[in-house]
Amino acid sequence: MPVIGEGSAHGACSLLHALGAGYGASLGLDLTLRLRLRDDEPTKPVDDPSGVLDAVVEVWEAAGLEKPAENLHWQVRSSIPVGQGLKSSAALSVAALRALCAASKVELENSDIVDLSSQAQLASGVSLTGCIDDAWAAIEPGWKVINPNLPAAEGILMQGPFPDPESWIVLIVLRGPRELLPDPGRFANTGPQFQKAITAIEQESLLVALTENGRAVANALGDSAGRRVANDLMVWGARAAGITGSGSAVVAFLPSHNDSTKRRIQSFVEQRGFTMIETAVWFEEE
């Protein structure tokens, strides 16, 4: 059989940007990435310009784990927009590690997968912080506040489920591939502006944290256009809105079954020339 292992993971949005806040927090969304690991070359090769998958194999072997086959090939199906702050790289690395586990008959704790994912993202250059919070959100529903300077198993400072996830819809405004790259110095200088988001997280006011974090990120990036989009979404009825990751997507939350507000926001987004997708918070049904 050419398919020797499979893995999946989820996209997410930011509640705290680790580069500015010092702590990271992400919330898993119902955006999925599914990956197949093959020992023969598929008809359509995977598009991985950053080399995340090669980095995954390198950290796998560096951890003393054997490759399940000499030649490894990948197939990816994903609903996660790439390069817009929705954690596609974290999802790709987590899914690849899960596929390697399945192919090699190796059992790893989620925290081990998160650590390896972080190493792969750093090695490939797609992350400045390791994105431990993103990898946790890719592999487990809910939210976690992470100290990025500690191993995954030790770095969880707070965690919990998103309250009443079925009561919300998530609208994502896609503004195109990221153009403004994060500058660690600018994020450090904006650190005090992230304090509102940190305080909101401490109070478990997740939507407030999302909004305040997005405002601080906009200032750190100099992304005034993204700040305006988030503000306009709230004027049109969203309960929370903010830039996710280092941009460029803007994520908004509004109550479910509020069709008139959703239509107003859709019209606004189309007038601005952007694309909008609708999703939900990822959660496990009891």
141-200 per-position pLDDT tens digit: 999 999 999 999 999 999 999 999 999 999 999 999 888 889 999 999 998 999 999 999
Whether 261 maps to a domain, the answer reads yes
Whether 178 and 98 map to the same domain: the answer is no
Distance CA 79, CA 92 (A): 12
Same domain assignment for residues 74 and 210: no
Cα four-point dihedral sign 46, 48, 52, 54: positive
- Does any domain span residue 7? yes
CATH number, residue 238? 3.30.70.890
Cβ neighbour number for residue 166 with a 10 Å cutoff: 10
Report the 10 Å Cβ neighbour count for 234: 16
Q: Looking at the structure, tell me whether residues 259 and 179 fall in a common domain.
A: yes
The answer on 48 and 174 residing in a single domain is: no
Kindly state whether residue 188 falls inside one of the protein's structural domains.
Answer: yes
Which two tokens mark 139?
């592999």
pLDDT value at residue 7: 98
Q: Can you give the pTM of this predicted structure?
A: 0.95
The CATH number of the domain holding residue 46 is 3.30.230.10
Containing domain of residue 231, as a range?
165-279
Question: What percent of the chain is modeled with pLDDT above 90?
Answer: 89
Same domain, 212 and 136: no
Of 100, 131, 160, which residue constitutes the final position of a domain? 160
Cα angle, residue 164 at apex, residues 162 and 170 outer, rounded to 5°: 70
What is the percentage of the chain residues whose pLDDT exceeds 70? 99
The span from the CA of 211 to the CA of 16, in Å, is 10
**Taking a C-beta distance cutoff of 8 angstroms, is the pair 37, 74 a contact?**
yes
Q: Which of 51, 66, 65 is nearest to 123 (CA)?
A: 51
Q: Is 259 helix (H, G, I), strand (E, B) or coil?
A: helix
Provide the residue count of the chain.
Answer: 286
Over the chain, what is the mean pLDDT? Answer: 95
The answer to the question of residue 285 being in a domain is no
Whole-number Å distance between alpha carbons of 106 and 127: 27
The distance in angstroms from the start CA to the end CA of the chain is 35
In a domain, residue 122? The reply is yes
Do 151 and 201 belong to one domain?
Answer: no
Q: Which pLDDT band holds residue 284 (cuts at 50, 70, 90)?
A: confident
Last residue of a domain, one of 160, 183, 199: 160
User: Is 225 in the same domain as 153?
Assistant: no
Residues 154 and 51 grouped into a single domain: yes
Is 190 found in the same domain as 108?
A: no
Q: Is residue 284 part of a domain?
A: no
Condensed to tens digits (0 to 9), the pLDDT of residues 26-37 reads: 999 999 999 999
Q: Which pLDDT does position 265 carry in this prediction?
A: 95
pLDDT, tens digit, 9 for 90 and up, residues 220-234? 999 999 999 999 999
Q: How far apart are CA 167 and CA 70, in angstroms?
A: 48
Q: What is the mean pLDDT of residues 53-81?
A: 96
Query: Looking at residue 47, what is its pLDDT?
Result: 85
Query: Alpha-carbon distance 159 to 43, whole Å?
Result: 42
Residue 142 lies in a domain: yes
Identify the residue whose tokens are 């993971």: 9
- In the chain, the number of structural domains is 2
Residues 18 and 151 grouped into a single domain: yes
What span, in angstroms and rounded, lies between the C-alpha atoms of 29 and 10?
A: 6
Q: Is residue 38 part of a domain?
A: yes
CB atoms within 10 A of CB 51: 14
Residue 241 near residue 234, CB atoms below 8 Å: yes
Q: What are phi and psi of 144, to 5 degrees?
A: -140, 135
Whether 200 and 60 map to the same domain: the answer is: no
Taking the C-alpha atoms of residue 96 and residue 176, their distance in angstroms, rounded to an integer, is: 25
**Tokens standing for 81?**
């927009």
Domain edge (last residue) among 111, 139, 160: 160
Do 142 and 219 fall within a single domain?
A: no
| Distance in angstroms (rounded) separating the CA atoms of residues 247 and 93 | 20
